[in-house]
Amino acid sequence: MHGYLRSTRTLLSLGLLLAGTGAGDARPPRAPADIPAIAQRLRAERKTFTDADIIDGFLRTAFGAEYHLAGRVDRIRKYHKPVRVFIEAPGRPERRAQLAAVVADIARHIQHLDIAVTERREDASIVARLVRDRDLYRTIGAMYGSDRAREIRTSLDPQCLSGFRKNDNFEIINSDVILTVDNGDFTFYDCAYEELLQSLGPINDTTAVPWTMFNDDVQMGFFDVYDQYILNILYDPRIRAGMTVDEVRALLPDVLATVRPWIAQVNGLPP
């Protein structure tokens, strides 16, 4: 079984400028559109892309890996089973509710992916651990060992982290997501969307594509249209785990032709 990890580096200023919801706060958790930094990005979001724009981003993110523990990175990796997310968030009901809403939003926007929250850890494909920022590296160390944790800190310096393990057929078996809860609402949503989505397969970061959240220079806080294209292509039934770049490239025109109407429909865009 082979594993891959990736991280998000979020600008510190964002965490300082945007206040988070306190653990004892009785107010309902803030939705993404209610957060000024996310609302601004939603208004400015680019929603029209050429086939070449989309294909380039898909190939850059679905192949390769920002940091891999073992195994080849030149094959498609994805789940071929329903995905269930267990949220481990002791004492943080508002963050748990926000993450559950993120999972539901992802489910609405990826046509061929069955993903939902589960209350039973034993049923989980993805375990999402919500921790305080000061406990992040202790959690990484407990999961991966102290030596690997030091290597991860040196190589990635993460603010949040995700990874998955796959079988010899490049099918993802399970994933782990670690999110910090006390760096503000914007940072929480930005990490939650990016890490959950990358735990589904497109784990490679790229600075060559300016429209994807899978670029450490880009912060979104929501599931943008461009990345919906990437995930809907990946989870189209014609794209199989273990496929090579050449095998996928040959299918992309037909796959994209069916993904486009879905993206338009689910986002209320012109056909």
Q: Where does the pLDDT of residue 154 fall: very low under 50, low under 70, confident under 90, or very high at 90 and above?
A: low
Q: Is the pLDDT of residue 253 over 90?
A: yes
162 alpha carbon, distance to own chain's centre? 8
How confident is the model at residue 49, as a pLDDT? 97
Stretch among 19-23, 137-141, 207-211 having the lowest mean pLDDT: 19-23
Count the domains in the chain.
1
Mean pLDDT estimate for the chain: 85
Distance CA 171, CA 133 (A): 31
pLDDT over 80 at 147, yes or no: no
pLDDT at position 151 is 73
CB 57 within 8 A of CB 202: no
pLDDT computed for residue 83 by the predictor:
98
For the entire predicted model, the pTM comes to: 0.86
pLDDT at residue 67, as a whole number: 47
* CATH number where 100 lies: 3.40.390.10
Query: Which domain range does residue 251 map to?
Result: 2-267
- Are 199 and 175 in contact by the 8 Å Cβ rule? The answer is yes
Q: What is the pLDDT of residue 5?
A: 53
pLDDT score for 6: 52
Q: Report the pLDDT value the prediction gives residue 243, as an integer from 0 to 100.
A: 96
- Average of per-residue pLDDT across 213-235: 95
Rg (CA), the chain: 18
Alpha-carbon distance 183 to 130, whole Å? Answer: 12
Helix (H, G, I), strand (E, B) or coil at 6: strand
Q: Which pLDDT does position 22 carry in this prediction?
A: 33
Q: Is the dihedral of CA 217, 185, 174, 227 positive or negative?
A: negative
